[in-house]
């Protein structure tokens, strides 16, 4: 008697196995990349005046004298058991466990990504529905123009642009750009700049602060991530809705006299949730991984900033753990998007006998 497995369950299990294999290959790439970093931790800590004997003794105490493949299997074996090793900061064996170092930073990164997602997801869906409803109008053209512009800009440029706007508010009238504009335009831009809230440029996050205080301190990094991600989600939502509006059942609804708004919300949107959820999952994965540059620009105390600092100090266990966490999160969210698209496929939910 053979055990029958539903096609959806079989495909999901296959995707999970493929995800684990991908994570294993990524861990090899992470370890090899860290190995290729120039210099060594022992030389960086002891300085140029250290003798070869002192460097060799420190490397032996840290386990860096063992072959690379032995150190890799020891690292990945401990990571599977939840042990990410000890930070080299503080003397290797006396260093803090990597999990304790990363824990608070990971909480800050997740808070920033959650804050950006809470704003970006509903705004992107609403703008996507409105641009599909009023397509080829001035509203659609303006939203698509801004969307294309933001998609083409890298995160660090958007971050520096926002910082420049905040700093510019008190000195705009003295810039060369303002001198080339008419007086009424300069006055209008000055009024708009001063109407903006005085966001904190440096994200000094205190874990003991309230939710609103942490949100205010993280406002500029969150706005940067929101602007970068909302454009892509909006355009994909718009394209999905417009594609569904050409379906025969939508034409039937129009012939029955259903209003355009009701057609989009009640008929097109329920059938568009699968691709929209797929896009949202991909962008959430981008939010987690793409915070590195944004955290560095705003000196946000997250995993991205910790990883950059660890690379500078050659704290190998912390670098490997941060990279592995980013990779695992990205793979997991991509698997979630893949599984959502599989589960919402009627041809798999109702297979033919």
pLDDT tens across 177-192, in order? 555 556 666 666 666 6
In a domain, 47, yes or no: yes
Q: What is the pLDDT of residue 92?
A: 44
Closest CA to 109 of 246, 222, 2, 244: 222
Q: Are residues 266 and 303 both part of a single domain?
A: yes
In a domain, 125, yes or no: yes
Q: What is the pLDDT of residue 1?
A: 44
Write the pLDDT tens digit of every residue in 245-302.
777 877 787 777 777 777 777 777 777 777 777 778 777 777 777 777 888 888 888 8
Half-sphere exposure of 256 (CA within 13 A, CB side): 10
- Given a contact cutoff of 8 angstroms between Cβ atoms, the answer to whether 264 and 241 are in contact is yes
Q: Which range marks the domain in which residue 79 is found?
A: 30-83
Q: Are residues 252 and 298 both part of a single domain?
A: yes
CATH of the domain at 322: 1.10.3720.10
Q: Are residues 306 and 211 both part of a single domain?
A: yes
**Alpha carbon distance 269, 89 (integer Å):** 52
Q: Are residues 208 and 78 both part of a single domain?
A: no
Report residues of the chain scoring pLDDT below 50.
1, 91-94, 174, 353
In a domain, 182, yes or no: no
In a domain, 291, yes or no: yes
Q: Are residues 69 and 133 both part of a single domain?
A: no
End-to-end distance of the chain based on CA atoms, in angstroms? 18
- Given a contact cutoff of 8 angstroms between Cβ atoms, the answer to whether 285 and 273 are in contact is no
Q: Token digits for 218? A: 């993280």
Q: Are residues 123 and 60 both part of a single domain?
A: no
Q: What is the DSSP letter of 290?
A: T
Q: What is the pLDDT of residue 317?
A: 83
Q: Of the residues 83, 114, 149, which one is the last residue of a structural domain?
A: 83
Closest CA to 197 of 184, 181, 216: 216
Q: Are residues 269 and 128 both part of a single domain?
A: yes
Q: What is the pLDDT of residue 49?
A: 66
Q: What is the pLDDT of residue 187?
A: 65
Report the domain count for the chain.
2
Compute the C-alpha angle 135/265/143, nearest 5°: 30
Q: Are residues 116 and 76 both part of a single domain?
A: no
In a domain, 175, yes or no: no
Q: Are residues 118 and 248 both part of a single domain?
A: yes
Q: What is the pLDDT of residue 344?
A: 67
**Alpha carbon distance 87, 94 (integer Å):** 8
| Cα 8 from chain centroid (whole Å) | 28
Q: Are residues 331 and 236 both part of a single domain?
A: yes
- Given a contact cutoff of 8 angstroms between Cβ atoms, the answer to whether 34 and 46 are in contact is no
Q: Are residues 79 and 205 both part of a single domain?
A: no
Residues in the chain: 353
In a domain, 287, yes or no: yes
In a domain, 187, yes or no: no
- Given a contact cutoff of 8 angstroms between Cβ atoms, the answer to whether 101 and 298 are in contact is no
Q: What is the pLDDT of residue 44?
A: 65
Q: What is the pLDDT of residue 9?
A: 75
Q: Token digits for 263? A: 């057609």
The residues, any chain, with a CB within 8 Å of residue 324's CB and separated by 6 or more, are 26, 27, 30, 79, 84
In a domain, 190, yes or no: no
Q: What is the pLDDT of residue 40?
A: 65
- Given a contact cutoff of 8 angstroms between Cβ atoms, the answer to whether 253 and 244 are in contact is no
Q: Token digits for 128? A: 């996507």
Q: Are residues 148 and 42 both part of a single domain?
A: no
């Amino acid at each position: 008697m053979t055990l029958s497995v539903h096609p959806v369950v079989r495909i999901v299990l296959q995707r999970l196995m493929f995800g684990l294999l991908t994570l294993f290959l990524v861990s090899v790439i992470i370890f090899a990349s860290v190995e290729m970093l120039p210099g060594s931790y022992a030389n960086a800590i002891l300085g140029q005046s250290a003798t070869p004997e002192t460097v060799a003794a420190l490397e032996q105490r840290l386990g860096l004298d063992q072959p690379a493949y032995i150190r890799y299997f020891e690292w990945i074996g401990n990571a599977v058991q939840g042990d990410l090793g000890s930070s080299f900061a503080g003397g290797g064996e006396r260093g803090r466990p990597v999990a304790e170092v990363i824990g608070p930073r990971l909480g800050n990164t997740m808070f920033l990504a959650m804050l950006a997602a809470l704003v970006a997801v509903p705004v992107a869906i609403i703008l996507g529905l409105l641009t599909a409803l009023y397509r080829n109008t001035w509203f659609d053209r303006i939203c698509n123009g801004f969307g294309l512009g933001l998609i083409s800009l890298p995160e660090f440029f958007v971050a520096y642009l926002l910082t420049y706007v905040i700093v510019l508010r008190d000195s705009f009238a003295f810039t060369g750009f303002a001198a080339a504009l008419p007086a009424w335009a300069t006055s209008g831009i000055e009024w708009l700049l001063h109407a903006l809230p005085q966001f904190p440029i440096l994200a000094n996050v205190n874990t003991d602060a309230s939710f609103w205080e942490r949100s205010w301190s993280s406002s500029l990094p969150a706005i940067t991530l929101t602007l970068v991600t909302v454009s892509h989600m909006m355009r994909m939502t718009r394209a999905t809705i417009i594609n569904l509006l050409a379906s025969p059942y939508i034409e039937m609804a129009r012939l029955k006299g259903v209003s355009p708004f009701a057609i989009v919300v009640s008929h097109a949107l329920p059938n568009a949730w699968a691709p929209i959820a797929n896009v949202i999952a991909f962008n959430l994965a981008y939010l987690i991984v793409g915070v590195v540059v944004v955290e560095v620009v705003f000196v946000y105390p997250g995993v991205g900033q910790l990883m950059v600092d660890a690379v500078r100090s050659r704290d190998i266990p912390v670098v490997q753990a941060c990279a592995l966490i980013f990779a695992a999160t990205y793979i997991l969210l991509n698997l979630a998007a893949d599984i959502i698209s599989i589960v919402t496929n009627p041809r798999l939910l109702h297979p033919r006998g």
